[in-house]
Structure 1
């Protein structure tokens, strides 16, 4: 039987379909939970769902109560087509109607900065003003659309970044005299540090508007003619604020927008002649590629960072870049190369002096961070070879957890989720439940969507183990957190 699909546009919004709890329920064919979420957050009544899905209200009622499971392909297809649920979310091929009701294309105002523009400081300032001005006025609908926008990859992303390797070109001096003193700039620098620390600890985008406002003000100050020293420091502030805006956007699920701010951060670091921070920005872009399963692009970004900062970056930055390199190798299944790059990271970190000898933004990279990152990569390998790598992953992650504790916020939660997964992979169900309980508690303390995404991935290990009361309870706790 062929179902025509929605004729008035999908009943479920893109924002609702992006919810982790709904996606998990649909993938698991748990339509009782799915219908409850749709009624609660989609505003659809039982009768509206029944009419759209060509079901009786009584049928919807029994499904919602959990009294009847949905196993019929025809019923699943009716639900998908009636509500406008993409086929892949319920284990079906793409539905015939998919693509008919897409969002309108991005307008010129929404589009990201053009990377074919020359790498002039003045261009960077204009791009910062344009990007932040648009985002500060962004409505919720536009923000929701950004969640589903794909990040650039391949040559589309990499080729325009080559300009970072060339010395910055200087344009004409601005006419309006600037009035910022070195004391004013020092206060801006302290603000940038505070925002970065806050994001590193808590994650999410709760203060993103404040960061964007400060970034917009910095761009306005650079439109005036400042002294060379003040201008250089202002571009470095812009780079750090843009980097923080990038991680906040990414942490809120806005992948393409995060990339826009990463590219702005790289241009600003270039204009401020801050090569080490530029390498750090490229490392952030590489990490984004790794989280979206693009290890080849990630490796190219790391190599660009290493080539451009050779001889100019300290041991902590070099160690961090080696961990990104190792991450890419692990994702490719190149175990020997992964171990070699990890060893290089350990050697570089061992040679580092006191943290005060390097920039504040790399001070987070210590032995605990290295252990956490290394444990996460062994976990990647354990997903295909649990017996060979699960225990090694757990050992490294426990070291990170012991060293940095709950005050690490987002990193602590990610470590705890990773440790729980190693226990499932090792077949230690009792320990897995206990670690998952700790993971849920840690995740509840941060607004990071990355943490919730990882917790959602942990959910799958609880499926099919309903005979265990402990597993059922911990699964419910995951679902309850993801529903908030």
Structure 2
């Protein structure tokens, strides 16, 4: 019996290249696929078959569209391309152990199915933390390489924007407490680049647009990590820079971030800022941007108690999402899809105390939401628990709150616990119920 060697295994000389290792560490599989085809003559169809990915999806990734974030799929790619686990933040793969010990296997290792509890959950969390660290260590030096000449060419803003998009993926799996310094460092480095080097007017506007995008990412991490003052300052800086760049979509998004932050204090100011964000971006903004801004406007209306305004904004978001005019969407808005809009819809109706509307959409959306996105899923579950409480379903609310607590454990974000705390206070009135007593004990431990 001979060891199985997939036809998509990367040659050693390619696997050892610094640019390939940087792409691997950052989970930029599109770049890896592209290099595999152009330099190792490994076709996209072979990659698709071995990685269990649709061929058109492989092509899209190679064009820089989308990303791979789930543990099982990344593990499958590692096995198909024979990428050693440590390069991805994974434990050594079975085939690596076989090669080092002389034992052979007739088929490649298959990752285990996802489990709700137990070793797999822990293994995934450790994987994401480790892979994020490896990716940063590998990718951060690139900006120093860009910052070597005194004259910046037209390609540099595109390089920085791609780099920003790659680092944004960390927010899928880590909280602001882990990412804030990274994102802030990127923002500050780009500011130095703009200040110290020369470029054409067109390149200067493109650099300012990237800077505005980086400020928003750093501001979001600050907000998520409980640094509200830093967040506000970064959002305001982003708005001004985006205006200077002539990027109305980013300017509108900066206002939407400010509205999201303000709504918890001054509801009227939050609503006004959210309305202004939609006007600033305007009707010509890409559909994904308008979807994002309208759903945030819906949230502002919901927190303000305006059910009619909420429904109108959700309708506008749905209409924008349904548009398919071929416009390339900015990376910072591509995460908004139909599932995310469903979640926002459920959140809004929860806030308006309409559990009969909220529960079905939240249940359906969260059924398709990966546990790897622990912070966001724990937050969204908290709204589902709230709706069940409003409907008088106390034990179901307790069960879902317990799940939210499990997911939020170890996440460097202040928001899940802030969201869960009021629900726990309401549940404490029913502590005689075993399900409630169990979740209250979990929360206190």
Same topology, TM > 0.5: yes
Other-structure match for 2:242: 269
Other-structure match for 1:106: none
**Aligned equivalents of 1:317, 1:186: Cα separation in 2:** 19
Mapping of residues 205-244 of structure 1, within 5 Å: 205-223=177-195, 224-244=197-217
Work out whether residues 226 and 413 of structure 2, in 8 Å CA contact, stay in contact via their aligned partners in 1: no
Pair 1:325-2:301 in alignment: no
Shift of 1:370: 0.8
Match of 1:418 among 365, 383, 393: 383
**Aligned equivalents of 1:246, 1:293: Cα separation in 2:** 18
**Aligned equivalents of 1:476, 1:338: Cα separation in 2:** 37
Other-structure match for 2:33: none
Pair 1:403-2:368 in alignment: yes
Pair 1:475-2:420 in alignment: no
Work out whether residues 371 and 377 of structure 2, in 8 Å CA contact, stay in contact via their aligned partners in 1: yes
**Aligned equivalents of 2:224, 2:275: Cα separation in 1:** 25
Pair 1:452-2:387 in alignment: no
**Aligned equivalents of 2:387, 2:289: Cα separation in 1:** 29
Work out whether residues 372 and 396 of structure 1, in 8 Å CA contact, stay in contact via their aligned partners in 2: yes
Work out whether residues 291 and 316 of structure 2, in 8 Å CA contact, stay in contact via their aligned partners in 1: yes
Deviates more, 1:257-266 or 1:202-211: 202-211
Work out whether residues 274 and 300 of structure 2, in 8 Å CA contact, stay in contact via their aligned partners in 1: no
Pair 1:178-2:143 in alignment: no
Identify unmatched segments of 5+ residues in structure 2. Answer: 1-148
Task: Name the SS for the 2:161 alignment partner.
Answer: helix
Pair 1:199-2:171 in alignment: yes
Pair 1:339-2:304 in alignment: no
**Aligned equivalents of 1:479, 1:197: Cα separation in 2:** 32
Match of 1:372 among 321, 343, 346: 343
Other-structure match for 1:283: 256
> What is the count of residue pairs matched by the alignment?
297
Pair 1:441-2:406 in alignment: yes
Shift of 1:376: 0.7
Task: Name the SS for the 1:464 alignment partner.
Answer: helix
**Aligned equivalents of 2:157, 2:300: Cα separation in 1:** 38
**Aligned equivalents of 2:438, 2:431: Cα separation in 1:** 9
Match of 1:248 among 188, 198, 221: 221
Work out whether residues 417 and 436 of structure 1, in 8 Å CA contact, stay in contact via their aligned partners in 2: yes
Shift of 1:452: 1.7
Other-structure match for 2:275: 303
Mapping of residues 11-410 of structure 1, within 5 Å: 178-223=150-195, 224-290=197-263, 292-352=264-324, 357-382=328-353, 389-410=354-375
Other-structure match for 2:136: none
Work out whether residues 389 and 397 of structure 2, in 8 Å CA contact, stay in contact via their aligned partners in 1: yes
Shift of 1:423: 1.7
Task: Name the SS for the 1:368 alignment partner.
Answer: helix
CA shift in 2, pair 1:440/1:183, >3 Å: same
Shift of 1:337: 2.3
RMSD of equivalent CA atoms: 2.2
Shift of 1:256: 1.8
Q: Deviations over 1:169-196 (max 9, x none)?
A: xxxxxxxx83333444333222211232
Deviates more, 1:296-305 or 1:240-249: 296-305
Q: TM-score, normalised by structure 1?
A: 0.58
Task: Name the SS for the 1:202 alignment partner.
Answer: coil
Other-structure match for 1:430: 395
Q: Deviations over 1:18-67 (max 9, x none)?
A: xxxxxxxxxxxxxxxxxxxxxxxxxxxxxxxxxxxxxxxxxxxxxxxxxx
Other-structure match for 1:119: none
Q: Deviations over 1:382-425 (max 9, x none)?
A: 1xxxxxx1121111211221233224333212111111222222
Task: Name the SS for the 1:406 alignment partner.
Answer: coil
**Aligned equivalents of 2:373, 2:431: Cα separation in 1:** 33
Identify unmatched segments of 5+ residues in structure 1. Answer: 1-176, 383-388
Other-structure match for 2:84: none
Q: Deviations over 1:410-444 (max 9, x none)?
A: 32121111112222222222222221221112212
Q: Deviations over 1:184-231 (max 9, x none)?
A: 433322221123221244222212222222222211111122222332
**Aligned equivalents of 1:207, 1:333: Cα separation in 2:** 33
Other-structure match for 2:22: none
Q: Deviations over 1:123-167 (max 9, x none)?
A: xxxxxxxxxxxxxxxxxxxxxxxxxxxxxxxxxxxxxxxxxxxxx
